[in-house]
Structures are given as structure tokens and as C-alpha cells.
Amino acid sequence: MDTYFNDKIAVVTGAGGVICSEVSKGLAKEGATVLLVGRTIEKLEKVAEEIKAEGGKCACYICNVAEQKDVNKLADRIIAEYGKVDYLVNGAGGNNALAQPNIAKFDPRELDENKPEDLKGLYNVDMDAFESVIQINTMGTVYPILAFAKYMVKEGKGSIVNFASMNTYCPLTRNFAYAMSKAAVANFTQSLAAYFGETGIRINAVAPGFVVNERSVKILGTVETGLTERGSKVIGHTPMGKFGQAQDMYGCVKFLLDDRMSSFVTGVTIPVDGGFLTLSGV
Ligand SMILES: NC(=O)c1ccc[n+]([C@@H]2O[C@H](COP(=O)([O-])OP(=O)(O)OC[C@H]3O[C@@H](n4cnc5c(N)ncnc54)[C@H](OP(=O)(O)O)[C@@H]3O)[C@@H](O)[C@H]2O)c1
């Protein structure tokens, strides 16, 4: 076990997910005490087991990060148990197929009362799902920051990493709610960096390229088992010619969290994307 982050307390939301399970394992392997936050205990416990099997320190916390009361309670509990939080990684987030149309361009039939059943335009998506995507990606980032920064301000230090997306820079088709919410994450990261600039708290974001997770595997496929049309487009648009691995995100998250590495970096969103953003598509 490395001791690089030995005295650090790191809260990681979405820690049961593809990317932040690896971020959590990375931090724990380097000595941090990692507090794993999510909604599904089974997912968190699986990550915790792996961390503990390697000799790492961690604990699991159930919390819906899109609910401010729950997040405030969680922060109070964690401060009561550990006395401080050094790092916050806001990895909880995601998309919802119900919030997505199945066509990329407006079709006048989507406004018809008797529209074809298999046609789902922007006018036909489930607006509750649409709002919930915005809620989790935006307020699910805002609430943990407010709750934990309150304590970081008292310590005069702290580092926060949010999760943006390729959609932050330019939206993918059919991704309305997800894309606007991930653009908001980068924008909010800048606003907060300015707001907390003199407090010693730094706030940055990582914008992952395409890392296949439970949901996106259905949309993209995998290189090994076969790509969908959309998956082939993504790979064709990625100069490195592959999807990212969850582990690929850790180095960037570590850099942004660590004052020894990035003490004068705040308000930035760093793409970790195999070069996806370098191509215009023409
Ligand atoms: N994978 C990619 O290619 C990619 C690309 C760009 C950006 N990102 C972003 O990177 C982050 C991590 O992505 P990922 O691929 O690791 O996603 P993932 O595998 O779906 O994991 C996301 C985790 O967030 C948790 N979560 C969702 N809503 C929550 C809520 N309201 N409260 C608490 N936890 C909640 C989920 O836990 P439960 O299942 O328990 O709810 C899930 O374990 C997300 O913000 C995602 O949007 C991913």
C-alpha cells in the first residue's frame, strides 16, 4: 500500500459506477480513506470489498445526491466521524433513455396526435425523465459541493473534482438533457472556482471521452463483442481508435485533487478523451 494520500479523507459520489469505482480504488491504493457514496449498497460494497482486500481504508454511505437534505445529513455525519474532508469527487451522474428521442432531426409527425408508435421525437420524450437527468447531473453536483465546501472553508483547503463530458463542448445527437447538464457542470466549475478562489478550495472537472458503462454498452457495443453504428462513429472519431478505460481517468483526477501537483489550477475542465475533441468530423 502506497502512503502518498495517507492522511487524506476523500468522498467519492457515484463510487459504485464504472469510472468512480476505479477512482476510489486508485485513491485507496495510495493511502486515502475513501468514503464511497451512491444509492445502491450492493455496488458500493463490491468496491469496498476490493479496496479492503488490498489493505485499503473505506466506508460506504447510501445517499441520493440530488436531494439536498440527504446530502447535508451525509456531510454532517462524515464530519462527525472523520473530522474533515480533503477531497470531493462528484462522480454521480448519468443519462436516461426515456429522456432521449430516437431521431436526430425534427420530424413533423412527432407533433401529430396519431404519430407512428415507433417514432419518438423531442416532443414525445418523458419530461419527468428529462428533468431528472438535469437534476442528477447539475444539482447532484451542486449539493455535495455546498455541503462539503462549508467544512473545507473552515480548514482553509480542499479540492473538488466534477465530471463533465464530451457533450460539454459539443452535444451529441439525441442527448438534450444530458448535454445541457454537462455543459452546466463545466460552467458551474468555473463560477465556483472564482467564488471560492481565496478560500484555499480548488474546483476543477474531468471530461471523460467514451468509457463503456452498464447503460452505454447497449448504445455503443464493445470492440470485443461488436460495435453499434453509434459505437463505430465514436471510435472513428477518436484518434486513438479505442474507448477509454475507467482507469484512464484516475491520473487526471489525482492530479487535480493533489495540491502538490495542481496547487495553482482551478476552474478548468480537462478532457481525457483519446483525442476525441481534436477532430471536427470533416
Ligand atoms: N462512461 C462514460 O463514457 C462517461 C463519459 C462522460 C462523462 N461521464 C460521467 O462520468 C461520471 C461517471 O460515469 P460512469 O460511466 O462511471 O457512470 P455509471 O457507471 O453509471 O456510474 C454512475 C454512478 O452514479 C450513481 N448515481 C446516479 N444517480 C445518483 C444519485 N442521485 N445519487 C447518488 N448516486 C447516484 C449510480 O449509483 P446507483 O446505481 O446506486 O444510483 C452509479 O453507480 C458520470 O457523471 C457520467 O455522466 C461518463
pLDDT score at 76: 98
Q: Is the pLDDT of residue 223 over 90?
A: no
Question: Can you tell me the distance from the alpha carbon of 57 to that of 27, in angstroms, rounded to the nearest whole number?
Answer: 10
Neighbours of 218 (CB within 10 A): 10
- The average pLDDT across 241-266 equals 97
Which residue's CA lies nearest to atom 6 of ligand 1? 165
The predicted-structure confidence for 73-113, as pLDDT tens digits, reads as follows: 999 999 999 999 999 999 999 999 999 999 999 999 999 99
CB of 203 within 6 A of ligand 1: the answer is no
Ligand 1 center–CA 131 separation, angstroms: 16
3-state SS, residue 208: strand
Give the span between the Cα atoms of 15 and 156, in whole angstroms.
26
CATH number 3.40.1080.10 is the correct assignment for the domain at 9-209+247-271? no
| Contact by Cβ (8 Å): 189, 267 | yes
Query: Quick one: pLDDT band at residue 173, thresholds 50, 70, 90?
Result: very high
Confidence tier at 36 by pLDDT (50, 70, 90): very high
Domain coordinates of the chain in residue numbers? 9-209+247-271, 216-243
Give the span between the Cα atoms of 99 and 61, in whole angstroms: 28
Q: Which three cell numbers stand for residue 115?
A: 404519430
Evaluate if residue 20 carries a pLDDT over 80.
yes
What is the average per-residue pLDDT within 108-134?
A: 98
What pLDDT does residue 143 have?
98
Calculate mean pLDDT across residues 161-172.
98
Mean pLDDT calculated for residue range 227-255: 95
Of 143, 178, 195, 250, the catalytic one is 178
Residue 276: CB within 6 Å of ligand 1? Answer: no
- The yes-or-no answer on residue 178 being catalytic is yes
